[in-house]
Amino acid sequence: KDVRSNEATTKYLLMGGASSSILVHGFSWLYGSSGGEIELQEIVNGLINTQMYNSPGISIALIFITVGIGFKLSPAPSHQWTPDVYEGVRFVR
């Protein structure tokens, strides 16, 4: 087995798991702050009608969701792990 391949796999699993957990944590904050609504349109209507968008819970939820998506997409501040993963990947034939 290739050592770089093992390192790339480990980094991908750790960073993917961490970013997924941050994203789900943000969604749970949004769910809790919205009063248990599931549909996105109902959440938006509830936030606009009750002016709950100024609450710290919504701000925390949006920060977690943005950071989680940011690590998944790997833009500039959260891209340090991406080159190592894609250089060390082993293609299956």
Each residue of 24-79: pLDDT tens digit?
Answer: 999 999 888 877 888 888 878 877 777 676 788 888 999 999 999 988 888 777 77
Residue 65 is encoded by which pair of tokens? 């969701």
In a domain, 20, yes or no: yes
In a domain, 90, yes or no: no
Query: Domain containing 67: what range?
Result: 3-82
Count the neighbouring beta carbons within 10 Å of the beta carbon of residue 19: 20
Q: Residue 82 in contact with residue 15, Cβ under 8 Å?
A: no
Task: Report how many domains make up the chain.
Answer: 1
In a domain, 37, yes or no: yes
